[in-house]
Amino acid sequence: PVGDLGTGMWGAIGVLAALHRARAGHGGAHIDVSLSDTIAGWSLWEVADYVATGEAPAPLGTAHRLTAPYEAFTCGDGATLVIGATERSWKDLCAVLGIDLAGDPRFERESARFAYRAELAAILQDRFVTAPRDAWIARLREAGVPCGPVNDIPQMLGDPQYRERGMFPSDADRFGHPCIVNTPVVADGAPRARRRAPGIGEDTRALLAEIGVDGPEVERLLRERVVGAA
């Protein structure tokens, strides 16, 4: 499914680029996108890792490909959080967790922490299970350590951040469903969800009129089955 969604996005980006090119007077373009190319294109870190080391990268679970600790941990209440403690916040993380790793050569530098990421993750996991997730998140955020909850779908739909961003508008009369997923693009003039998706051919006449096709021409196109309308 990620390949399906991503390829649609690449296709849209290609169309926008071609439209810009055409409007600049350089002619149109044929857009060719592929599901497999999308997935291959998103493996840039793994390919770079292999080219640099000659070793085929193995799965890392939730861990980051280039740094540690940067992954998900289970807390005392069974809930999960994710942290991204780079060099800047490493000492703050240790302080919040109440662990002293300053004298351990495995964890002195970021490169060493990455090399011993499995051992480090085990140490951190032992601490995270001693308190509930929200308590850890509050303390980590206060210390400036990047972190956040790993939500399930119901929690995500109720998250105040997404509510503020308008990501999941709820209006059954307007959208035809209790909740929809909005476009993530928020910009001046950018279209976001205004109503339900139209039925097939429902907006044909309105769209043709919008681009200047007059009524008789629309009817001719309909008669000749160049276009269809509901």
Report how far apart, in Å, the C-alpha atoms of 202 and of each of 15, 124, 230 are: 24, 56, 5
Mean pLDDT of the chain: 92
Q: Are 73 and 63 in contact (CB under 8 A)?
A: no
Q: For residues 92, 97, 102 and 103, what is the CA-based torsion angle, rounded to 10 degrees?
A: 180
Residue-wise pLDDT tens digits, 134-192: 999 999 999 999 999 999 999 999 999 999 999 998 887 777 788 889 988 888 877 78
Q: Would you call 96 exposed, middle or buried from its count of C-beta atoms within 10 A (0-12, 13-18, 19+)?
A: buried
Task: Specify which residues 72 forms β-bridges with.
Answer: 82
Residue 28: what pLDDT?
A: 87
Which residue reads 């011993």 in tokens? 116
**How large is the average pLDDT for residues 31-40?**
96
Residue 103: what pLDDT?
A: 85
Residue 186: what pLDDT?
A: 86
Residue-wise pLDDT tens digits, 46-67: 999 899 999 999 898 999 988 8
Q: Specify the pTM.
A: 0.74
Residue 56: what pLDDT?
A: 95
Q: Are 149 and 80 in contact (CB under 8 A)?
A: yes
Residue 222: what pLDDT?
A: 94
